[in-house]
Amino acid sequence: MTHIRFDDPSVVTVTWKPAGPLIVEGHAIILDNEGRPIEPPPAKVPGQIKLCGCGLSGTKPFCDGSHKR
């Protein structure tokens, strides 16, 4: 197994938050089922994309905070 450096800017990390979103940090492109890029909504944290983990979001595949309600 190759050692991965988390401070390497080419590394994309995905953090699972129980009962919340999947947080993607780093340069990532989200594609629809036909391979077309989907523009993520503006992020509070630059370079961060939050993907829906609960299935309730009205802006799937992105999180809109519906898991909080």
pLDDT confidence of residue 59: 93
Model pTM score: 0.82
CA 19 → CA 9, 11, 14, 37, 53, distances in Å?
28, 25, 15, 26, 7
Delimit the domains of the chain by residue range: 12-29+40-69
Q: Which two tokens stand for residue 19?
A: 């009962």
Structure confidence by residue, pLDDT tens digits, 15-63: 999 888 999 999 899 999 999 999 999 988 988 999 999 999 999 999 9
pLDDT confidence of residue 10: 81
